[in-house]
Each structure stands twice: as C-alpha cells, then as structure tokens.
Structure 1
Amino acid sequence: MTELEPVLPVLVVLDLASAVVFAITGALVASRKQMDIVGFLWLGMVTGVGGGTLRDLLLGVPVFWVVNPLPVALCLGAAGLVHFSAHLVHSRYRLLLYLDAFGMALVTIAGTAKGLDAGASPLVAMVMGVITAAVGGILRDTLGQEPSILLRREVYVSASAAGSLLFILALAADLPRLWAMGAGLVAAFVIRSLAIRFDWALPVYRARPGRTPGAHGEVE
C-alpha cells in the first residue's frame, strides 16, 4: 500500500462534503431571490460542482462528478431540501456566510491535495486549491445576481490561500498528511470566520493625484 492510498477516501469525502455545502449555499441564494424549484436545483448543482470541475479540467484528470455522479445527486438532494426548509432559518444570509466559509475551507484542501497528487508543484497545487474555492462561489453569485466574492472587501481568497499554504508547509515539515490537511482546513475556516465576525479586509488601492505633464522629464 502506498502512502497515498489511505488518504484517497478522505479526498473523496472532502469532494462530496464540499459539493453538498456549496450546493446548500447556492440554494440559499435561490431562496433569497425567490426562485422556483428548478432554480434551486440548478443553482445548487452549479455551485456545488463548479469549482471542482474547473480544477479537474486544469489538472487534466477525470472530472470527479462525471466519474461518479453521486456528488450531483447529493447537490440536487440538498438543494431540494433547502427549497422546502429555507423559511425555517431565521437569518439565511448569516447561515450562507458561515456555510460558504466551511465549504471554502473544504474545497481549498481538496483542491490543493488533488493538485499535489496529480504531480503539480506546491505553488500550482496551492493555486488549484484557491481556484476550487473561489469558482463555485463566483458562479453562485453571478447566477444569483449577488455581489461577487472577488469584489467584496472581506478576506476570502486570502483565507483560502493561507489554509492551502499551511497544508503545504505542514507536509514539508513531515506532519502526517491527514493532520496537515486538518490544520489547513481549520486555518482557512477560522480566518474566514473571523473576517466575517470582525469585518476584516485587506488594504485597498487608493487613487493618487496624477502627475502633471513635464514632471520627471516627461514630454507632454
């Protein structure tokens, strides 16, 4: 048995869990937009498998839900369940934020691990993790006409990158792979959750006065 074999079931579970969690966030957006059942199912499925689909295509490996349709079935089931129960949630937006944070952490580690397993360099694997985390949310927000996660000031992509980096560094320090995955997952979720709680944001670009013609030897 190779070192990788005991971890493979964990990666499958991460893909399934992240797909379901993101599907629920997609369905919650559908509820906020008062869509019909088809809208719930479509938005839930696209959000659930979108990031992992792009990841697998970029890595040149079989797309996870094409090989095994269980993720799609779980996404549709989760979205359908939300359609009949969303009204029971007191604050759907707050639930959406924290579920999205958890889903982001899950797919970050799954994407990074899959990149490493496909033979990618640590940097490329880290990019795969961040892409997997961001794309599902981007699709959800675009289709649901919500402000994109990339356009918000809150810490999101950087939380994903931090979790992925910690996972890779923990592996480099010879920490057992499952422990390294857990450390990265917790880091990404905690950073994002704290950002939600305390409204953390990275410094933004500030416009500066333009230079006048002729300054610094410039020709008008």
Structure 2
Amino acid sequence: MFTGIITAVGQIKSAQVKGDGLHLVVEVPDGYLDDVALGDSIAIQGACMTATQLTKNSFALDISRESLNKTVGLDKVGAVNLEKALRLNDRLGGHLVSGHVDGVGKVAHFSQVANDAYGSWLLRIEAPKELAPFLAYKGSIVVNGVSLTVNKTEDSLTACIVDINIIPHTLQNTTLGNLKQGDAVNLEVDLIARYVARMLNKL
C-alpha cells in the first residue's frame, strides 16, 4: 500500500529487454534506499514494483509486458516519481493507494491559473470513460503516483474530464511539472470508491 505522497524523484537510467518485458535500473538520491531491502515494493509513476537488486544509489526491477501495456512512462529513460511502501505507523498524508494503475489518461490542458497569487496550475485530464463512476468532486485520484484532489468532473461521450489544482510545491517535488498537453498519464481511482461501486452493483 501507498499514500500517493512522492518521497523522491528518481531517474530510469536503463531499460533493457528481458523476456517479453524489461529490466529497469532506477537511480535515486543519496540515502533513499537505506531502509529498503530486496523484495520491497516501490511505486514508480504510480505502479507498484518489486526491487530485485540494490546498490547504494540505485535499484533494479523487472517489469512484465502486461504492466507495460497498462501503464506509461516505464519503458524508457527519464525522471520518475517514487514512493516506498507504507508502514503501518506512517502518516497517511494522501489517501489509500494500491499502486495498481486503473487506466491511462491524457493531459487535455495544463497551465498556470490566471491571477492566482499562490501560483497554482490547472491540470485537466481526459480519463477513460470506464473510470467515470469512481471520480467525484473533492474525491481522490492518483496521477503518475501523486495523490490529488478532484475539483471538477464532466462526462463526455468518450471520456470523463477531470480538473485538478496543482500547487507549486507539488510541481517542484514531482515530475508533474514536466507535463504538457497531449501527454499520457497513469491513473488510479480511489480504493474505497472502487469497493463501494462493487457492493452497490451486487445489491
């Protein structure tokens, strides 16, 4: 389990073919892996992965073709959001996150909010239509591993449009500041909403 609070920005340094998937090596800041052991879970861009090799400043993982087909941003070198698995005594600063990507969305708009003294940005995402029942005003959504609050939803024939306010701190401490219109993003809906929907469908 995770919280969607990014604990570091790492760099995928290599992505080599292994079977039908890839073997990734991710470089991390000094000291980031001090409390990580082989087999521990680390979320990368919101996708839960298992550390299979560790050095002082990097870890390796194997990612399957299924995971590559269901996510974006894990198949090439570049910056990635990282979060280590939640401990039972940790603060839950974001919301309950499983690290299982529910769908890939598209950035429809991303710009600084006009006349906003705090310098916040509006991120508008076109989420897959099938995720619409799980997205609600002031509900939670994970974008590339980051726990965020939904400010507005609007259903279209082909997608659910989601507006999110991004504060400067989030832009400075995650990879979200690199987003641009047209980019694909990993999305995870609220865990509780998913189970509520499942139970209601059984009534």
User: What is the TM-score normalised by the length of structure 1?
Assistant: 0.27
Which structure is higher in strand share?
2
Structure with higher RCO (Cα < 8 A, 6+ apart): 2
User: What is the TM-score normalised by the length of structure 2?
Assistant: 0.29
Which structure is higher in helix share?
1
Greater radius of gyration (CA): 1
